[in-house]
Chain A
Amino acid sequence: GNSVTQMEGPVTLSEEAFLTINCTYTATGYPSLFWYVQYPGEGLQLLLKATKADDKGSNKGFEATYRKETTSFHLEKGSVQVSDSAVYFCALSDSNFNKFYFGSGTKLNVKP
């Protein structure tokens, strides 16, 4: 079946530190992979996505590369800001885009 596993939080970093949030997946077929971000009191927002192996998704300084050989989609940012504090969710969709599977979320706290 399909599932997503991401590192547990919270992750606490100082401003300008390097960020990595690990995500691995199990899937049948050829899933698309996503990172969503959730700010307090809000719904999820799409941060970036990749639709096939070796694709790199990027947005707002965040990047993630679809690694089929390691079934991973790790989120990285070179220099985090206080405004990046949020909960980050890794997700995948089945080949038909009908069903989506989310990880449990990783809370990021960035301190000034």
Chain B
Amino acid sequence: DAGITQSPRHKVTETGTPVTLRCHQTENHRYMYWYRQDPEHGLRLIHYSYGVKDTDKGEVSDGYSVSRSKTEDFLLTLESATSSQTSVYFCAIRLADTDTQYFGPGTRLTVL
């Protein structure tokens, strides 16, 4: 499972509140990703990181920010959550010099 954990696993919050999701890996992989999964869209890339303090936007980055201050942690922040951000969020790592990703178990976020 490439040593990926996500926290929290479930969260219910209210519109307008800030939310931070954490992805933690134990194997010092350089590349980390945040996706959201929605039934009608499948998985869509939010942001990704290619090293400490190095991040870039994906397809659906509006309303989300990320930070990576150390190799093992990649944080996803919703500055002011909206109901449209209700989703399941997956973190993934990619092995360097390969095209293979490994996914974490997911975080189910509900914004009321």
- Which secondary structure dominates where chain A touches chain B? strand
**Interface pair B103/A45, CB less than 8 Å apart:** yes
With A100-B33, A103-B42, A104-B40 as contacts: A43 and B58 at CB distance below 8 Å: no
Q: Counting CB contacts under 8 A, is B48 at the interface?
A: yes
Q: How large is the interface on B (under 10, 10 to 19, 20 to 34, 35 or more residues)?
A: 20 to 34
- Which secondary structure dominates where chain B touches chain A? strand
**Interface pair A49/B103, CB less than 8 Å apart:** no
Count the A residues whose beta carbon is within 8 Å of the partner chain — how many? Answer: 21
Assembled-state Cα–Cα distance A99/B33 (Å): 9
B43 surroundings in chain A (CB, below 8 A): 44, 89, 91, 102, 105
**Interface pair B99/A89, CB less than 8 Å apart:** no
With A49-B100, A51-B99, A93-B99 as contacts: A44 and B41 at CB distance below 8 Å: no
Binding site for A on B (CB under 8 A): 31, 33, 35, 39-45, 48, 50, 56, 58-59, 90, 92, 94, 98-106
